[in-house]
Chain A
Amino acid sequence: MSALAEIEARLESIPAPADSREAARSLLSDAEAVLEHWITARGETPTADTREGFRLLALHRQGTRGEPSFNACRETCREIAYHYNLVHAQPASADATHASRMMAMLVRHLALFVSGKLQVAGLGEFCCSSRPLRIESA
């Protein structure tokens, strides 16, 4: 599993991929690695399950359990899966190159969000997750 800083650095400059499908596979694997860091840091074993065909979405669901603020990256994960599908639908098209570039930015966003949350656990906690009452009364 690559370190988060390595993943961030790798995503800083993405050259136009020679093989968009391979690039998408590699980006998806990076995204999974980012979520594995989050889950491991919480003392859990990252799931090998898939959800809607993606391990990434299963990992996100696992990472959100007991941590509603982690939902702040739910759409980012879903967009990563969507862009992965876009690349695979028409791998040779110019659209695939664009989709793979956007996918790299999405994975970078996920990496930044998770590394931010690992440093400051409250990131996202008192804005969009709304800090539900059940946590306070638990």
Chain B
Amino acid sequence: MKPEYQRVAYYPGCALEGTGHAYNQSTRAVGKALGLKLDEVKNWNCCGAMEVKNKDPKVQTYLSSRVMSIAANEMGAKVVMAPCNGCYHNLKKAEYDLAHDAASREVVDRISQKAGHATYTAGQVETIHALDWIKDGIGEDELKRRVKNALSGLKVANYYGCMYTRPRHIFPEKDRGAGSESTSKPHFMDDLLAAAGAENVDFPLKTACCGGAHVLSDSDTSTKLVLNILRAAEAAGADVIATECPTCHSGLEMHQVRAEKVLGQKTRVKMLYFTQLLGIALGLSPRSVSVHENVSDALGALKEKGLA
């Protein structure tokens, strides 16, 4: 248990105000139910996502550093929590760049001065994912104690996507032995959902590429990659795929529809954010964790198992 995770600066990022709205709602609802406090980063900006990073990695480093600078220097926060894998990854990458690359520090300092805010210095805050926040802020034992509607009988394939663990060097806290997260076989989501009563299936594609970044330039490859992930989850016996990233989640849902339309391949597995599943287990209503916003019939899957 880490007391510093009880109250964190919350960086939702752009996706959670759009396609990932249900993730935002369910993260806030679960935090409230567990007594974990979120202070949204004031006047936050885009983390630099993929587009800026592809054009100029140092500008992405600056954009992410501004978010951390506001949290550290204007809010006095020690921990920033980002539920989106893209944001989480970019803030960690910026942290790494600023700690190891003098040219990045120079660019960030120059733009920060021009923008009129304090320059972020590596180490001022710790960036964590929503999985770390609940896993280390509450822990499985306490979570188990608070479960009112155990996810019994629900078979879950946990899909972490690529940016939660790669590249390894920007996540120095992972692969540290017992209790730490693994970059090759991540398990934090498995641990939390098991504590909520779900049955995790052995799913070998939990960090496999979904082709998400090329959804427009090469849609067919993305659809085939996602279809393979969905089929593998079904072959593993899963009723639902739990996600922890808005890009992964919408990619899986959209390509499931596209696979049926374009390739004639129907899959029945449903997608839910892990925070939605935790919310249900904590006794929250499906509406309060925005299950009705999911594209796949997640509510139907929950009803079928007597969970909604």
Q: How far is the CB of B187 from chain A (nearest CB, A)?
A: 13
CB of A105 within 8 A of CB of B209, answer no
CB of B167 within 8 A of CB of A123, answer no
CB of B214 within 8 A of CB of A123, answer yes
CB of B54 within 8 A of CB of A75, answer no
Interface SS, B side: helix
Interface residues of A in 57-114 (CB under 8 A from B): 68, 71-76, 78-79, 82-83, 98, 101-102, 105-106, 108-109, 112-113
Query: CA of A88 to CA of B248 in the docked complex: distance in angstroms?
Result: 33
Query: CA of A121 to CA of B208 in the docked complex: distance in angstroms?
Result: 17
CB of A109 within 8 A of CB of B225, answer yes
Q: How far is the CB of B46 from chain A (nearest CB, A)?
A: 15
When A119-B218, A128-B163, A129-B166 are in contact, do A76 and B50 touch as well, CB less than 8 Å? no
Whether B207 sits at the interface, judged by CB under 8 Å, is yes
When A101-B235, A102-B236, A116-B214 are in contact, do A127 and B50 touch as well, CB less than 8 Å? yes
Q: How far is the CB of B301 from chain A (nearest CB, A)?
A: 22
> Which residues on A are within 8 Å of B, measured CB to CB?
68, 71-76, 78-79, 82-83, 98, 101-102, 105-106, 108-109, 112-113, 115-116, 119-120, 122-133, 136-137
Can you give 22 A-B contacts (C-beta < 8 A)? A72-B166, A79-B204, A98-B235, A102-B236, A105-B231, A105-B235, A108-B228, A109-B228, A109-B232, A113-B211, A116-B211, A116-B225, A120-B217, A122-B214, A123-B213, A124-B162, A124-B213, A127-B50, A127-B213, A129-B167, A130-B53, A130-B93
